[in-house]
Amino acid sequence: MNNFYVQISVPEAARMLETETTYVYKLIREGQIIPARTDPIKLTLNSVVAYLKKRLPSGFDLVQVA
């Protein structure tokens, strides 16, 4: 399945970003991560990866480790 359709919870996103859930909620409020659903809030894996890519310095890229 394409990662675009994989939905994760806010706590799962927080673990991926190694941060608190409150920070993920802040990113959602600021529009930096757009939720796929709002009740309950679900994020797409793709939106979290896109946020991470925006935070990387130019010339860097994310690599998936198996």
- pLDDT tens sequence for the chain (66 residues): 566 688 999 999 999 999 999 999 999 999 999 999 999 999 999 999 999 989 989 888 887 776
Cα–Cα distance for residue pair 53/61, rounded to 1 Å: 7
Q: State in Å, rounded, how far the first CA of the chain is from the last one.
A: 16
In the prediction, which pLDDT does 2 show? 62
Q: Which tokens hold the place of 1?
A: 């399945």
